Structure 1
Amino acid sequence: MSEKLRVIVHNDTTDAMTARLQEIASDVDVLACHSNAELDAAIGSFRPDVVYSVRFEVSQPFPRDSMLGETGPRWISVGGSGCDHLGKWDTERVTVTNSAGVASAMMAEFVLGCALHFTLDIPRLQADKADKTWPIRMVSPLNGKTLLIVGLGQTGQAVAARAKAFGMRVLGTRARPSPVENVDEVYAADDLPKLWAQADFICVCVPLLASTRGLIDQVAFDRMKSSAILIDVSRGGVIVSNAAIQAMNKGKIKGAAFDVFATEPLPPDSPYWDLPNTLISPHCSAVYEGWDLASFDMFLANLERWQTGQTLTNIVDPNRGY
């Protein structure tokens, strides 16, 4: 009799996931881990073939060395889209997949919601309500405005589709420029210096790679319109923090929404908290009710491919980061 496939499910809550897994794959030996420390220890003792892992405990070290070491799995299924916490890996020894696309629709809604927060002047409307005053506020349409999407992956494309529904002109960048539905003009990342000044809204949704770390720096902010709105749903490190803080404090751009930060959770003494005309959210643009099980369903579909010798979907290239 062949040995059972050993699978670790790593998340803060795993009951529904392990139940689904055991329901459809009774020949699998499953172990649940609820912390990075548990995962680290289990890799050496359980010696998994496969690990499904959600990076939820961001304040604790991720057991990268164990995951990619000799007793690590042959396949790592990342429950989110970002794989920068794994660094580089040997594709001859381990396959890494992600759940890219599982939250793209929600993230696109989040981006457009942030844009509307500023165009509808929600902060002053709330202040008027608190003061019980009735001034006439001038709102601004998205129709006719230019949106620059930095990173036309699945999230960027979902943002473009919704922006088009509002009548926006959409520009975007991707590693290999080619026509993209709902995008009026597609450029390479090297073209960004000439694009900053065209954008009324800038959505940042690139992965964190060597090529994107520090992509939006002081020079980029200097080239943006003073009326621009920046919305960052990428990864902490793509935007240079000091440059962003300085730009907002000096009013170089009109407003910003930051969902990701180089240090998470954001420390209480971070200057970000006191920035004017700024939305701060706790890396939640991809978190919606049921996202975790939707991601796990993608894993289960891939697990069937794994067991039947088919090519997995969403395989990540460590050199490209996606």
Structure 2
Amino acid sequence: MSAEPSVILHTDRPAAALAVLMETHPDLAVHACDSYAALPELIGRVAAEVVYSVRFDGTPRYPRLALVESATVKWVSIGGSGTDHLGHWDPARLTVTNSAGVASGMLAEYALGAMLSFSLDLRGFERRQQARIWGGGRVEPIEGKTVLIIGLGKTGEAVAKRAQAMGMLTLGIRARAKPTPSLDEVHGVDALLPLVGRADFIICCVPLLPTTRGLLDEAAFAAMKPSAVLIDISRGGVVDETALLQALDGNKIKGAALDVFATEPLPADHPLWGYGNVAITPHCAAVHDGWDIKSVRMFTDNLTRYRRGEPLENVVSPERGY
């Protein structure tokens, strides 16, 4: 740690990020980088100690090695919440923080909107409107329904708060079960199968880890009610897409709202595109005007702590992934 570290802002909007950073750290040498390819050379050239980085062009091309194996980088501040695109790093040599909570409210609204969309059959009514058909369809309340939230970080808790305000029974799963605000029940991962069988809506909010990859598999879908709806705002890979397709084909669940996928962008020939009971969004549930500025402000607050030699907030464990 140094009081005047060399800093890189690695984002597709470096000018906006730089303007925010300069409000509180005008004395620092700050370098902007808006591409994946240019980052390794820039790190070496400026001997960067701190890098604020946004995953803005997908995971496969992300320059993780330039960050986790750098001889100079001591702290990587991730602009979002997920850190799986970094792979593993040595916490004794590199500190990684994330921006957990920066978009928890927006993600919770996405989840609530998806639940309302299915309960109000908005997709069905849209099809009837396009066919100029009057009548048919039915709406039902989400009040009194049961929602299972898998992963109770800041996003999961934000979902629970809104769901409980709508009169829903809120169930939650977390690695270490403990009483949690806005949750009627909290259980460990070993309770997954019984809980999915009780839920009308299943909302996935966990990070992608070796322990969560394929968490919602064939057995989980087999345990769900035929009226259940899956909402995935986690990371591609947590839901076994083959098992999901089998569940959809077998009418084992009512439908799904998916913002994340094992392969992104979702290939044009992927079968998920063809389901009328599946809502697809392009990994944008957390993206809204101002989210990036809010994230940079979280980074600048942490940068102040870093320069003072104080503990950083939102430090991520490579083993836990959060």
1:70 deviates by: 3.6
- Aligned residue for 1:152? 152
Distance 1:59 1:238 in 2: 15
**Higher deviation after alignment, 133-142 or 84-93:** 133-142
Describe how 1:273-284 pairs up with structure 2 within 5 A.
273-284=273-284
Q: Residue 135 in 1 paired to residue 135 in 2?
A: yes
Answer whether contact 2:21 2:296 (CA < 8 A) is retained: no
Describe how 1:1-322 pairs up with structure 2 within 5 A.
4-58=4-58, 60-322=60-322
Distance 2:104 2:26 in 1: 32
- Letter paired with 1:238: V
Deviations 1:135-174 (A, max 9, x none): 0532010011110001111100000000011100010001
Distance 1:271 1:130 in 2: 23
Contiguous gaps of at least 5 residues in structure 1? none
Deviations 1:69-125 (A, max 9, x none): 243411100000000111121111111000000000000000010111111010122
Answer whether contact 2:20 2:293 (CA < 8 A) is retained: no
SS of 1:66's equivalent in the other structure is: helix
- Letter paired with 2:31: L
1:305 deviates by: 0.5
Structure 1 length normalisation: TM-score? Answer: 0.97
- Letter paired with 1:206: V
Distance 1:107 1:319 in 2: 24
- Letter paired with 1:315: V
* Aligned structure 1 segments of 4 or more residues deviating by more than 3 angstroms: none
SS of 1:147's equivalent in the other structure is: strand
Distance 2:62 2:133 in 1: 51
1:3 deviates by: 8.6
**Higher deviation after alignment, 164-173 or 51-60:** 51-60
1:20 deviates by: 2.0
Answer whether contact 1:232 1:258 (CA < 8 A) is retained: yes
- Letter paired with 1:220: A
Structure 2 length normalisation: TM-score? Answer: 0.97
Q: CA RMSD in A?
A: 1.3
- Letter paired with 2:35: S
- Letter paired with 1:200: D
SS of 2:7's equivalent in the other structure is: strand
1:199 deviates by: 0.5
Distance 1:70 1:223 in 2: 46
- Letter paired with 1:122: L
SS of 1:65's equivalent in the other structure is: helix
Distance 1:274 1:40 in 2: 40
1:126 deviates by: 1.4
SS of 2:244's equivalent in the other structure is: helix
Distance 1:230 1:4 in 2: 47
Answer whether contact 1:36 1:60 (CA < 8 A) is retained: no
SS of 2:38's equivalent in the other structure is: helix
Distance 1:3 1:257 in 2: 46
- Letter paired with 1:304: T
- Letter paired with 2:19: A
Distance 1:61 1:280 in 2: 23
* Structure of greater relative contact order (alpha carbons < 8 Å, 6+ residues apart): 2
- Letter paired with 2:34: H
Deviations 1:257-291 (A, max 9, x none): 11000110111111111123000000011111100
Answer whether contact 2:152 2:173 (CA < 8 A) is retained: yes
